[in-house]
Chain A
Amino acid sequence: MIDYMEHVLRSFEQCTGWDRDNSYENVTATSENLLNFRVPSGVKFQVSNKSTPNTFTTFELSNNKVINGSLAYLYTNCQGLENYVSTSRDILLQEASETYRQIRPLYPGHSLRNPGKAKGFEPSSLWYGRMYYPTSTLEAMLVSRSSAQTQFVAKCISSLANASVLTLYWQKDSGQNCQEWIASTNEGLLGYRILHNFVGSQSKLNTSLYNDSSLSVGGELWFGVLNTTPACSTTLRYCTHSANTGKPLTLTLSWNPLFGHVSSTYSVKTSSGATFSSKYDFNLYSIESNLSFGCDLWRRGNIKQSSPHGVKPPSGSNTNFPVSSKEENQRQPGSKEDSPMFYHLMAGSTSSQKLIEDLNVTFASSLQKLTKEKSTIQRFENSLIDANFASVWKFSTSLRHKNLRILWEGKYKGFLISAGAEFTGAPLELPSNLAGESKTPALLRPGKLGIQLQYST
């Protein structure tokens, strides 16, 4: 379950036209969401409030052996953010929960991420602070959008017990390339990340005329100055739709050349209510491997016609799956350029649209195929958007760690409830060569248990 503040932050990014999926940090977000979802521990209760259109507060109480609390404030000068932030009663469950991330392809000449905001960008910023009790730990964050392509993030933690940490991000997203420079005072960590999106172009091998696949390659370099330890990795991501069924799927391949670690993921949304993901890890040096599975199963609730934003009829828009229908509303009156998904055929020229229509006669069969595929995909996506999910079950397991994680998330009377448990096989606290051989786990033991309630107005 996404915290309210995190929800506000994502809404801010949406509002200012920042694509968080275009960052290398989130290059494996889909498989991470499905495999390593966070299981709450203890009891946690969160009340959030949008006091003014620009300020948000959250009060949180958690009972994990001792009662802790935190108080968070957020201020932003972003205009129109209140349209993106929804209360826990109105929010769609697929927005409130981390799930499959649909990556939209990049088309040349089009900044697809912020079609509405492309013309006028207003610099905006966000201030966030949270005080934890009784540990008196303060965490603060500043997100600043200085230009349409850059974002500056500063995060810091100040605590009495531990060392204070300040981390700075400088991110530059030009659509095709997203570069980030990171500096952290924790061990003097310096990092550079880049994600490059290949422009979808016409290819002889591409038999499908309707092409919304996207291919991205990214890499990161890290260096801890204080401990002189380097790290690096590179990742390839490919997102596409299945041509026949229109089901989206994502493949990633990551490689860590320093430590010889290779991991590949395959995630597919088999239906509107089910997603499966698998991940295979392999280490070249130690020949250790791991296989992980994860899935989430959505359950539909009643069709709520009284939804304040309504359910839009299927339009020809290029729908971004996690984007809320509300955003779609705003985009809907927008340009015609949203509608076609075959930019790669036109190379960005709007004038050639006429040419396509002229070609309709000549390539009727191909175009029929195109529209058929397009309609299949769109139908599927619209079914996702329209769906009013009531709850979701998430499962994930890992062969090497011998654990099973279960999470249930749902809406109940305006509350967002997330309850989960983690079962582990081997006792984790024992070192591996001190664990007696007789203790080989025959049964899974519950290692973590928790429930989280969230209410926001």
Chain B
Amino acid sequence: MSFRFNKGAFEDNSFNEQIREALTNALNSKTQSSSQAVPANTTNSAATDEVKQETRGPKRLDILKSGISVSRVNFPSTPQLEILDLDVSAQSRSLLKGICKVSCKNAMLEINTEIEANLLLLYTNDGPSFTTPRLISNDSFTVPITMTFNQIELEAITNIFVKNNSVGISFNDVNLDFDFDCSIKLLQSSIEKRLKGSMETVFKEVLPSVIFSMSQRWFTHGESTSNSTSDDKSAGKQIESHSHTPRTILEDCDLEDLSPANMLRLSTLVSSRQSLSLNPTAMNTLSTIPGCLERQNLHRFNSRIPALSNFYPNFYEAESPHLKAFGRSVSTNVIGAGKQEHHNTLPQRVLEERTYDLKTIASVQSRIFERSSGDSTAARRRKIKMGKKSKSNKTQSQDIEKPGSTVALPTSPSLETLAVSTPEVLHSPQPTTAVQSPELLAGNSESDSIPTLVLPAQADHYTLPVKPSAPKLNLLEEAHYLNRKREFQKLRTSLYSPIRSSRFNSNKEMERPILEHKGLSFVGLTHGLNWGSEDLPPPYRG
């Protein structure tokens, strides 16, 4: 979530003018309901001239005989807003919750109005004429009064709730200090006392309700966010600039207003949660966010787990047509690795072609042992007698699969292994069975087709083909990702086509794929649409 102040609005005088007009309108609309929001006169002299023309207004029990005009406003420094806490995923009723500290220094405010001198006239005019005795020569005059607030210093801790169509603010800890100066010295002390007494209601009731109604008006009327200058709720406004419709969709300008770096980060976070984005966002890194593993990087994580199969990925590639017979895609053995453990087995082709390396196998197994052995079981060494044809080095892997699971495994009928160290022997229909990994076990029953292990001396010829898998896999994933993105695009336009069917057309998407992707993520986030669960990616289908 990101928002920023438009500093320019504070630096030039237009901010002060805006405040002056807004204050004048607000003060006058409060005093009379039939205010027509005519901009007030700027000078006090003009006001008094008009008072001379027409003093006796309608009868109302109002000591003010004229409207309130704010003559001078001066905010020399930008009001500061410090975000102490921001909770995006707040309660269900509010989209955003934050705690802010607002501070404002050295401000000045001057208010002009005119008050009725004869209070009794007001009361007698207000009362019913039947019971009110008539007073002779009970006329009056108006007194212009100027109130100046100097050195206003405000510091407040506020709670901000951004709801669906409004902004709620509650002031918790308000420190307000100002110098008060009134043109009628007789009234200064009493006015000051009353002002200080009513400050609590101002901050507890008046200001929150005013801000609430104002934000409601903004949201429902959908004003452009270009003039969002002083408010700390610009973020909320940008989230929901259109509340005529219950759903909120970001405009392009909204996205431009947001910080691109934050949006990118957010979108990657969200897309990783959706398990839709199969596009690795950064190459050769396990996770962009430290400490958490993203799903699309799981295969990379798995590829670094020491296992025999990781050292010979080429041979698995070669077996892909065989896998496709089961209706699986090429990338299944990588993508689907989230559910499928890497098996500590050598591919059959390795054995057939005798391209394995005993040293590598030994190091792999010892690494597996080192990683997994938290318990103090000593590694049992098994002596392998060389030269015996019937003996072969069996590669064992740990079988954690359920017996009925149909996880694609490289079928290696040549390898017949026995689980030795596990207390119960699992006989799966697959010819591979896993053995507690650290052990190097020799299979009891061996088939004839298994070639004998090559001695370590021969292993020098073979290079370890560890890395070349990644770019190739990425290419494959790209193709799938593009396919799927088109599907999503179709789905989304069908959902939102009445509103903005033109927004998600394809050429635009091609222009700015990242932003589009981001927008998609936000739509999903704000409405809780679980794309991933509704629309399974193809590897999981069937």
Q: How far is the CA of A231 from the CA of B123 in the complex (A)?
A: 12
Given contacts A428-B58, A429-B58, A433-B50, contact A233 B131 (CB under 8 A): no
Number of A positions contacting B (CB below 8 A)? 57
A442 on the B face (CB < 8 A)? no
Q: Which residues of A contact B133 (CB under 8 A)?
A: 25, 167, 169, 182, 184, 189, 191
Given contacts A430-B36, A431-B67, A434-B40, contact A222 B28 (CB under 8 A): no
On whether the beta carbons of B55 and A231 are closer than 8 Å, the reply is: no
Q: Which candidate, B1-9, B138-146, B205-213, is the interface stretch facing chain A?
A: B138-146
Q: How far is the CA of A165 from the CA of B131 in the complex (A)?
A: 7
On whether the beta carbons of B67 and A433 are closer than 8 Å, the reply is: yes
A144 on the B face (CB < 8 A)? no
On whether the beta carbons of A184 and B40 are closer than 8 Å, the reply is: no
Q: Which candidate, A80-88, A197-205, A278-286, A296-304, is the interface stretch facing chain B?
A: A278-286
Given contacts A182-B133, A233-B136, A434-B36, contact A157 B128 (CB under 8 A): yes
Q: How far is the CA of A231 from the CA of B134 in the complex (A)?
A: 12
B119 on the A face (CB < 8 A)? yes
Q: Which residues of A contact B12 (CB under 8 A)?
A: none
On whether the beta carbons of A259 and B132 are closer than 8 Å, the reply is: no
Given contacts A433-B47, A433-B51, contact A261 B123 (CB under 8 A): no
Q: Which residues of A contact B141 (CB under 8 A)?
A: 259-261, 283, 285-286, 288
User: Which residues B112-137 have CB closer than 8 A to chain A?
Assistant: 114, 117-121, 123-124, 127-128, 130-137
B468 on the A face (CB < 8 A)? no
Q: Which residues of B contact A259 (CB under 8 A)?
A: 117-118, 139-141
Task: Give B34's nearest chain A residue, CB to CB.
Answer: A429
B interface footprint on A155-196 (CB within 8 Å = 1, 0 otherwise): 111000010011101000000000000101011010100000
Q: Which residues of B contact A435 (CB under 8 A)?
A: 38, 50, 54
On whether the beta carbons of A224 and B123 are closer than 8 Å, the reply is: yes
On whether the beta carbons of A25 and B67 are closer than 8 Å, the reply is: no
Nearest Cβ in chain B — how far from A396, in angstroms? 15
On whether the beta carbons of B58 and A162 are closer than 8 Å, the reply is: no
A interface footprint on B217-243 (CB within 8 Å = 1, 0 otherwise): 000000000000000000000000000
B165 on the A face (CB < 8 A)? no
Nearest Cβ in chain B — how far from A28, in angstroms? 6
On whether the beta carbons of A224 and B120 are closer than 8 Å, the reply is: yes
A431 touches which of B52, B57, B121 (Cβ 8 Å): B57
User: Which residues A212-233 have CB closer than 8 A to chain B?
Assistant: 218, 220, 222, 224, 227, 229-231, 233
Task: Give B57's nearest chain A residue, CB to CB.
Answer: A428
Given contacts A224-B120, A428-B57, A431-B67, contact A28 B131 (CB under 8 A): no
A432 on the B face (CB < 8 A)? yes
A400 on the B face (CB < 8 A)? yes
Nearest Cβ in chain A — how far from B404, in angstroms? 81
B56 on the A face (CB < 8 A)? yes
B interface footprint on A399-441 (CB within 8 Å = 1, 0 otherwise): 0111000000000000000000000001011111111110010
B376 on the A face (CB < 8 A)? no
A24 on the B face (CB < 8 A)? yes
On whether the beta carbons of B119 and A432 are closer than 8 Å, the reply is: no
Task: Give A424's nearest chain B residue, CB to CB.
Answer: B54
Q: Which residues of B contact A235 (CB under 8 A)?
A: 136-137
Task: Give B38's nearest chain A residue, CB to CB.
Answer: A434
On whether the beta carbons of A263 and B54 are closer than 8 Å, the reply is: no
Task: Give A436's nearest chain B residue, CB to CB.
Answer: B38
User: Which residues B136-179 have CB closer than 8 A to chain A?
Assistant: 136-143
Q: How far is the CA of A288 from the CA of B140 in the complex (A)?
A: 10
B53 on the A face (CB < 8 A)? yes
Q: How far is the CA of A431 from the CA of B56 in the complex (A)?
A: 9
A254 on the B face (CB < 8 A)? yes
Given contacts A191-B133, A224-B123, A428-B57, contact A434 B128 (CB under 8 A): no
Given contacts A220-B136, A432-B65, contact A288 B47 (CB under 8 A): no
Report how many A-B pairs have Cβ atoms within 8 Å. 162
Nearest Cβ in chain A — how far from B119, in angstroms? 4
Q: Which residues of B contact A430 (CB under 8 A)?
A: 34, 36, 57
A124 on the B face (CB < 8 A)? no
B interface footprint on A270-311 (CB within 8 Å = 1, 0 otherwise): 000000000001010110100000000000000000000000
A34 on the B face (CB < 8 A)? no
On whether the beta carbons of A156 and B131 are closer than 8 Å, the reply is: yes
A256 on the B face (CB < 8 A)? yes
Q: Which residues of A contact B138 (CB under 8 A)?
A: 231, 233, 256
On whether the beta carbons of B137 and A256 are closer than 8 Å, the reply is: yes
Q: Which residues of A contact B118 (CB under 8 A)?
A: 229, 231, 258-259
Q: How far is the CA of A400 from the CA of B141 in the complex (A)?
A: 13
Main secondary structure of the interface of B (DSSP, over half): loop
Q: How far is the CA of A263 from the CA of B140 in the complex (A)?
A: 12
A261 touches which of B31, B36, B137, B143 (Cβ 8 Å): B137
On whether the beta carbons of A162 and B137 are closer than 8 Å, the reply is: no
Q: How far is the CA of A263 from the CA of B69 in the complex (A)?
A: 32
Nearest Cβ in chain B — how far from A66, in angstroms? 19
User: Which residues B5-36 have CB closer than 8 A to chain A?
Assistant: 28, 31-32, 34-36
B120 touches which of A155, A231, A426 (Cβ 8 Å): A231
B262 on the A face (CB < 8 A)? no
B215 on the A face (CB < 8 A)? no
Q: How far is the CA of A233 from the CA of B131 in the complex (A)?
A: 20
Task: Give A32's nearest chain B residue, CB to CB.
Answer: B134
Task: Give A166's nearest chain B residue, CB to CB.
Answer: B131
A255 on the B face (CB < 8 A)? yes
A167 touches which of B35, B66, B131, B137 (Cβ 8 Å): B131
B510 on the A face (CB < 8 A)? no
Q: How far is the CA of A401 from the CA of B55 in the complex (A)?
A: 8
Q: Which residues of A contact B120 (CB under 8 A)?
A: 187, 189, 222, 224, 227, 229-231
On whether the beta carbons of B67 and A434 are closer than 8 Å, the reply is: yes
A338 on the B face (CB < 8 A)? no
Nearest Cβ in chain B — how far from A124, in angstroms? 22
Q: How far is the CA of A231 from the CA of B121 in the complex (A)?
A: 9
B292 on the A face (CB < 8 A)? no
Given contacts A227-B119, A227-B123, contact A254 B53 (CB under 8 A): no
Q: How far is the CA of A182 from the CA of B140 in the complex (A)?
A: 22
Q: Which residues of A contact B64 (CB under 8 A)?
A: 431
Q: Which residues of A contact B139 (CB under 8 A)?
A: 256, 259, 261, 263, 281, 283
B28 touches which of A25, A285, A434 (Cβ 8 Å): A434
User: Which residues B41-72 have CB closer than 8 A to chain A?
Assistant: 41, 46-47, 50-58, 64-67, 69
Given contacts A233-B135, A235-B137, A259-B140, contact A432 B130 (CB under 8 A): no
Task: Give A156's nearest chain B residue, CB to CB.
Answer: B131
On whether the beta carbons of B54 and A432 are closer than 8 Å, the reply is: yes
Q: Which residues of B contact A431 (CB under 8 A)?
A: 28, 31-32, 57, 64-67
On whether the beta carbons of A186 and B132 are closer than 8 Å, the reply is: yes
A148 on the B face (CB < 8 A)? no
Task: Give A260's nearest chain B residue, CB to CB.
Answer: B141
A453 on the B face (CB < 8 A)? no
Q: Which residues of B contact A327 (CB under 8 A)?
A: none
Known: A426-B53, A428-B57. 4 other contacts (CB 8 A): A222-B135, A400-B55, A433-B40, A437-B50
Contact residues of B with A, CB < 8 Å? 28, 31-32, 34-36, 38, 40-41, 46-47, 50-58, 64-67, 69, 114, 117-121, 123-124, 127-128, 130-143
Contact residues of A with B, CB < 8 Å? 24-25, 27-28, 139, 155-157, 162, 165-167, 169, 182, 184, 186-187, 189, 191, 218, 220, 222, 224, 227, 229-231, 233, 235, 254-256, 258-261, 263, 281, 283, 285-286, 288, 400-402, 426, 428-437, 440
The 6 A-B residue pairs with the shortest CB-CB distance in the complex, in nearest-first order = A433-B47, A286-B141, A254-B137, A431-B67, A233-B137, A229-B119
**Can you list 13 A-B contacts with CB-CB less than 8 angstroms, sorted by A residue number?**
A187-B123, A231-B121, A259-B141, A281-B139, A285-B141, A288-B55, A288-B141, A401-B54, A402-B54, A428-B54, A430-B36, A432-B57, A434-B67
